[in-house]
Amino acid sequence: MRVRTPLVVGNWKMNGLKASAAELGRMIEGYGPELRWKVQMAVCPPATLIQTFCVAALGSRIWIGAQDCNADVSGAYTGDISAEMIADCGGGLVIVGHSERRTKYAESDAQARAKAEAARRAGLVSVLCIGETEAERLAGEAIAVIDSQLAGSVPDGATGSNLVLAYEPVWAIGTGLTPSNADIAEVHAHIRQRLVARFGREGEKIRILYGGSVKPANASEILGIADVDGALVGGASLKAADFLAIASVYA
């Protein structure tokens, strides 16, 4: 029996308009009882669609979340939304520390950690992203980078019910490239060992997703690797058929 329920999260990034609710509708239709028992599914649309999607997904068990949040409850942060606002819309989770936020907006480990703490304060689950760049992997520094991100961005008091980790090698995001199965296995086993060293038995309950060019064609291979508890999916989560095909690996 699995210790952790598999989770497949879709990150829609800056894609989607109100009409995209139809795509969510197809996901809801395809997320039947045979799948619901086996795998939890979540969709993180742009902030403009969170409320619409939450209403559309009511009763479907598809979890709706956000792609980022500010660490404060409210205040003078033009353009930002807080974890409380996401919860107020009905959202249940939020992605924090995504590599696109870390590189394009220079977000630090400390900020990712503060956002994960804000998510917990608001009753949300955070999906905290970590992963090395191509240069770091080529330099043999992947594990050291992961260690430093884990130390800097995972909050104290993390549990299997308030935190999900996503290992996303930066060079695999949106590129069609993926690490070898052995490399994914090595990093996931390492993260698991670090979580257990820090959180004891609770560290066994924190799910570790893999993210980076997961598609229907490679999902079964990647999701079958030890300590891979699901996937964070970008491009392939925009189409219900592809997203459901990935989740159906668990059916």
CB atoms within 10 A of CB 169: 28
Minimal distance in Å, beta carbon 58 to ligand PEP?
26
Is 98 catalytic? The answer is: yes
Question: Which is nearer to ligand PEP, 171 or 199 (by Cβ)?
Answer: 171
Which residue out of 98, 100, 107, 132 is catalytically annotated? 98
- Report the interface residues with ligand PEP, using CB under 6 A: 11, 168, 173-174, 211-214, 232-236
Instruction: Find the shortest distance in angstroms from Cβ 236 to ligand PEP.
Output: 6
Shortest distance (Å) from residue 214 CB to ligand PEP: 5
Cα 53 to Cα 21: distance, rounded to the nearest angstrom = 7
Nearer to ligand PEP, 94 or 203 (CB): 94
Residue among 181, 93, 184, 96 nearest 132 (CA): 184
How does DSSP classify residue 5?
Answer: -
- Following DSSP, what letter does each residue of 50-63 receive, concatenated? HHHHHHHHTTT--E
Residue of 84, 117, 136, 168 marked catalytic? 168
Nearer to ligand PEP, 67 or 199 (CB): 67
Residue number closest to ligand PEP, CB atom: 234
For ligand PEP, the closer CB: 68 or 136: 68
Distance CA 168, CA 233 (A): 10
C-alpha separations of 9 from 6, 73, 194 in Å: 10, 25, 23
Give the shortest CB-186-to-ligand PEP separation in angstroms. 19
Q: Collect all residues with Cβ–Cβ distance below 8 Å to 140 and sequence separation of at least 6.
A: none
Side-chain half-sphere of 25: how many Cα atoms within 13 Å? 6
114: left (phi over 0), alpha (psi -120 to 50) or beta: alpha
Task: Classify 114 as helix, strand or coil.
Answer: helix
Q: Which two tokens stand for residue 111?
A: 């900020």
Nearer to ligand PEP (CB atom), residue 174 or residue 224 = 174
Residue whose structure tokens are 């308030």:
162
Minimal distance, residue 175 CB to ligand PEP, in Å: 7
Residues known to be catalytic: 98, 168
